[in-house]
Amino acid sequence: VERALAYEILRQKHALMRGEIVRRETRHWDSVRKVTVPMRVKEFEEDYRYFPDPDLPPIPIPKDLIEKVNAEMPELPDERIERFVSEYGLTRYEARVLVMNKKLADYFEDVVRLGANVKKTVSILINDFIRYVNELNLSLSDALRVIKPVYIKELVDLLNEGVISTKIMKKVLPEMLKSGKSPKDIVKELGLIKISDVGFIKRVVDEVFNEYPKAVQDALVNRRAIEFLVGQVMKKTRGRADPLITRRLIEEKLSKLRSG
């Protein structure tokens, strides 16, 4: 019965959305096909053998009351998902994850209203934020109270401006959840500002090439081996070296070795 009712709710909802009329009929649940099928049509109320109860007078519902209730109803989850997709350009998956928890969806909109980049905001919230909340055994409600929306906006801005890398962001966010501090304060306290100084990174790349000659030989013939060299530079700089600059300098050095 439960499955039949669930199916009918969806069937009738979709029929009405298509502008179709839902007929009065008796339907049968096909347990093999997992659908309901019509058995017999009942066009009139008399077919159901209904009769009015003399002790229950009819209750008229004014049209203006119906309109008032509709106007005052909060946005329903399905409607909010559709709005997130059309207004913010989210995927349905992203919209569903946010809307599953009203507080998280409200928080997302608070951050975006502050001017934060939408794509980076939703990525941080549904991937990193939720993961660290679970790892730290926090409730989502508590986590949303600890970190102000403006701090997520600040974190997104630090990423966009290239002040921190994605790897550093993943270090900063759990610290924000633990302390409630702003990402700028945490970045300064822990010395996590991304290094973009080409000369400094070049010196670290030279060190790595000298320390790992076999890895260098591998990278000369196998581009995938470059990842090891990049990883060693990131390790020496505690993840602070700009990954794009690091990769470019490594590839340039390898290119010189191939031609020289």
User: What is the longest distance spanned by two Cα atoms in the chain?
Assistant: 103
How many other CB atoms are found less than 10 A from the CB of residue 26? 12
Give the contacts of 41 (CB within 8 A, at least 6 positions apart): 23, 24, 25
Domain borders along the chain are: 2-59, 77-190, 198-259
Quick one: pLDDT at residue 161? Answer: 86
Q: Report the amino acid identity of residue 154.
A: E
Quick one: pLDDT at residue 47? Answer: 57
Look at the domain 198-259 and name its fold.
Arc Repressor Mutant, subunit A (1.10.10)
Asked if 37 and 27 count as a contact pair (C-beta separation under 8 A), the reply is yes
DSSP code, position 76: P
Asked if 88 and 112 count as a contact pair (C-beta separation under 8 A), the reply is yes
Q: How many residues does the chain have?
A: 260
Give the separation between CA 129 and CA 123, rounded to whole angstroms.
9
Give the separation between CA 11 and CA 23, rounded to whole angstroms.
12
The two three-digit tokens of residue 163, written as one number: 């002040």
Tens-binned pLDDT, residue by residue, of the chain (260 aa): 899 999 999 999 888 878 788 888 889 999 999 999 988 876 665 555 666 788 888 889 999 999 999 889 889 999 999 999 999 999 999 999 999 999 999 999 999 999 999 999 999 999 999 999 999 999 999 999 999 999 999 999 999 988 888 888 999 999 999 999 999 999 988 888 788 889 999 999 999 999 999 999 999 999 888 999 999 999 998 888 888 899 999 999 999 998 86
Give the separation between CA 136 and CA 174, rounded to whole angstroms.
8
Quick one: pLDDT at residue 113? Answer: 97
pTM above 0.85, yes or no: no
Quick one: pLDDT at residue 154? Answer: 97
Quick one: pLDDT at residue 62? Answer: 93
> Residue 74 — φ and ψ, nearest 5°?
-70, 160
The two three-digit tokens of residue 168, written as one number: 């550093």
